[in-house]
């Protein structure tokens, strides 16, 4: 099966490297005019670096996968570090897209938010994209082409344990064309199951205030704090 973030970093890079230029402009606006230096914890292969740099932001990323950091360093500044315990100095704002924080347990999230609190001054924004209460069995699927290689990708929430507060996700990458055509790479991911209530409780115990929620679609309209499903954007304010 292999590890998506270590053994198949090239596939991850291709599958999640969609155009985020419009989203980058929105991120810049939400972070505020005074924001220049931005931290991206869990940056993966650095797909956000170029679009954020294009709108005037200086991005530093961190990730705990050596393979991902190597790819990210080809695009900008990235460090091998644990997002629950790091010290890279001070930044004006931060961003963490695509449900990255869903990989953290509740205890790990608390440690992460404490570390982010040390990295950001009072009044700074932290934009987090998180799926709250995603529908079971839904399977977002898409296809990408890169350098003559076509990949069909899918990500599904297979099961949920409400008592434990966990979900089991399955990623599936099928190589359709190119030298590795016919290969299928699947991986199970134990993620944290967040509801608006449990997410709000976690934030209330952190250095951050939960100030707004936005839809994850192209319009990114502001929605209520009880919104669920999809990749919602959460605007956090360093107290």
Q: How many domains does the chain have?
A: 2
Both 111 and 146 in one domain: the answer is: no
195 pLDDT higher than 80: yes
193 pLDDT higher than 90: yes
Write the CATH number for 66: 3.40.50.150
2 pLDDT higher than 70: no
The structure tokens listed for 139 are: 């399977």
Whether this prediction's pTM lies above 0.85 is answered by: yes
Both 84 and 171 in one domain: the answer is: no
Confidence of residue 124 (pLDDT cuts 50, 70, 90): very high
Judge whether 168 lies within some domain. yes
Judge whether 160 lies within some domain. yes
Residue 137 has a pLDDT of 80
Both 94 and 176 in one domain: the answer is: no
Both 58 and 99 in one domain: the answer is: yes
Both 91 and 164 in one domain: the answer is: no
Q: What's the whole-number mean pLDDT along residues 152-165?
A: 94
Judge whether 69 lies within some domain. yes
> Between these two residues, 204 and 6, which has the higher pLDDT value?
204
Both 125 and 201 in one domain: the answer is: yes
> Between these two residues, 52 and 12, which has the higher pLDDT value?
52
For 184, the domain range is 141-192
Both 14 and 106 in one domain: the answer is: yes
Both 203 and 152 in one domain: the answer is: no
Both 22 and 107 in one domain: the answer is: yes
Please give the Cα distance from 106 to 35 (Å, whole number). Answer: 29
Q: What's the whole-number mean pLDDT along residues 62-88?
A: 97
Mean pLDDT across the chain, nearest whole number? 94
8 pLDDT higher than 90: no
Both 125 and 172 in one domain: the answer is: no
Judge whether 4 lies within some domain. no
Pick the most confident of 85-94, 140-149, 209-218: 85-94
Both 56 and 154 in one domain: the answer is: no
The structure tokens listed for 121 are: 């001054």
Both 110 and 221 in one domain: the answer is: yes
């Amino acid at each position: 099966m292999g590890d998506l973030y270590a053994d198949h970093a090239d596939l991850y890079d291709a599958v999640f490297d969609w155009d985020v230029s419009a989203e980058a402009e929105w991120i810049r606006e939400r972070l505020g005019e005074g924001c220049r230096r931005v931290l991206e914890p869990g940056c993966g292969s650095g797909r956000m670096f170029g679009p954020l740099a294009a709108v005037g932001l200086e991005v530093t990323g961190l990730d705990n996968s050596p393979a991902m950091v190597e790819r990210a360093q080809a695009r900008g500044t990235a460090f091998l570090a644990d997002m629950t315990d790091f010290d890279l100095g001070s930044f004006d704002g931060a961003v963490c897209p695509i449900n990255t924080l869903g990989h953290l347990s509740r205890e790990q999230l608390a440690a992460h938010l404490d570390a982010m609190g040390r990295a950001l001054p009072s009044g700074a924004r932290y934009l987090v994209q998180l799926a709250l209460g995603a529908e079971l069995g839904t399977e977002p699927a898409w296809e990408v082409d890169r350098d003559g290689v076509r990949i069909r990708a899918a990500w599904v929430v297979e099961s949920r344990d409400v008592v434990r507060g966990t979900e089991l996700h399955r990623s599936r990458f099928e190589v359709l064309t190119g030298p590795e055509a016919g290969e299928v790479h699947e991986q199970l991911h134990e993620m944290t199951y967040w509801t608006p209530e449990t997410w709000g409780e976690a934030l209330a115990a952190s250095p951050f205030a939960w100030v707004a929620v936005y839809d994850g679609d192209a319009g990114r309209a502001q929605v209520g704090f009880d919104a669920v499903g999809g990749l919602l954007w959460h605007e956090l304010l360093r107290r």
